[in-house]
Structure 1
Amino acid sequence: MLDELITYDQELLIYINNLGEIHFHSFWVFVTNFIYWVPLLLFVFYKIYKKFPKHQAKYIIGYGLFILFFSLLLVELVKIGIERIRPCNDPLVAPFINIIIKPENYSFFSGHATVSFALTTYLFLILRKVFSWIYLLFAWPLFFIYSRLYFGVHYPSDILIGMLVGIVIGVAFYRIYNARIVKLRIY
């Protein structure tokens, strides 16, 4: 059963990866780099700072930044513990995929998926009643995770688990934030 799931995971990655076209490589290199998403996050943090009382905005933004670091640390610890080889480095899969970038660290589970979904879920839950456009922020993790399949650096299961872990982290920190706000009576 596990072998069948692994085979399906590999075949799905090969299919998705081979949908890519060479003239889109530059676009996906841009999308997959976190640094290019920083202006979007700064914009959202700015909107939070302008809309909420300053002390509350600091908590929202502070928790958001902590989520980034917490998620990255968790992902790296799991990757070191699991040691799943990336598809671009797997001799059974690599010949069948387009390899544009080739990270050397491990694959399971996706840091891009975890971090982007954790932060987006947290921000969405806090801001959904304040900014009607906040659901559009989910475009970030969707583009972000597809880029990882496009480059053949993650299996679909790496992405799926990363998304689920990210959502759980986002919900957990939303609840922690709410409990903290109620305790401090900041609103």
Structure 2
Amino acid sequence: MIDTLNKFDIDLFLWLNGRYMPWLDPIMIWITERNSWFPLYALLIGWLIYQYRKKAVGFLLTMIAAVALGDQLASSVIKPLVHRLRPCHELALQKLIHPVLECGGQYGFVSSHASTTFALATSVWLLLGKQHAWLKWGFLWAAIVSYSRIYVAAHYPLDVLAGTGIGVLSAMLCVLVFRKLQERIRHHKIA
């Protein structure tokens, strides 16, 4: 079962990574670089402060906690436990892949990019999606960033899929804790 799943994952990776186009390489490099998104994060922070004033602090702390939890679970817990090499470190794949960047760390399961972007998109959506339906586009952004990791040969599809799950679960947990704390604070103010 695991061998079949691994073969499917490798075959899907090779198919997806093989769909590269030279003109798309610099775009995917820009998308996959973490620093490219600092202006978006600054806009999000500014919008939250403008829109919600003091309430923005709780939202921001929850989002930061979700991203940090997703990142630490992916990078500090799962990758060292699983030890699955990135496709760009697999000698058997070297002649078959289209690497666009330096390979990065040795292990790739799970994708920290997928974990952190989906943690942010999910926490923003869970906290504010009812009031601002346009925030659903955050999931498209997270999916594009996650796909870029396959494009640049840093991750297999299952690395990305598992990272997505870790990010979503991290956000759900942090938003749940935030809401419980809000309830507790409201209850103490009433009492």
TM over 0.5, shorter chain: yes
Q: Structure 1, unaligned stretches of length 5 or more?
A: none
1:147 alignment partner in structure 2: 148
Deviations along 1:84-129, whole A, 9 cap, x unmatched? Answer: 1110110122221101121133110000001110111011111112
Q: Deviations over 1:45-82 (max 9, x none)?
A: 2222122241x210110121222222222111211121
Equivalent runs, 1:72-83 vs 2, <5 Å: 72-77=71-76, 78-83=78-83
Which residue of structure 1 aligns with residue 4 of structure 2?
4
Note if contact 1:87-1:154 (Cα within 8 Å) is conserved in structure 2: yes
RMSD: 1.4
1:85 matched to 2:85? The reply is yes
Partners of 1:175 and 1:111 in 2: how far apart? Answer: 22
Unaligned segments of structure 2, at least 5 residues = none
TM-score by length of 2: 0.91
Partner of 1:127: 128
Aligned residues: 185
Contact 1:10–1:93 (Cα < 8 Å) also in 2: no
Q: Percent identity?
A: 25
Distance between the aligned counterparts of 1:134 and 1:42, measured in 2? 16
Measure the CA separation in 1 of the matches of 2:32 and 2:153.
Answer: 12
What amino acid is aligned across from residue 116 of structure 1 in structure 2?
T
One-letter amino acid of the structure 1 residue matched with residue 86 of structure 2: R
**Residue type matched to 1:156 in 2?**
P
Q: 2 CA distance for matches of 1:104 and 1:116?
A: 19
2:183 corresponds to 1:182: yes
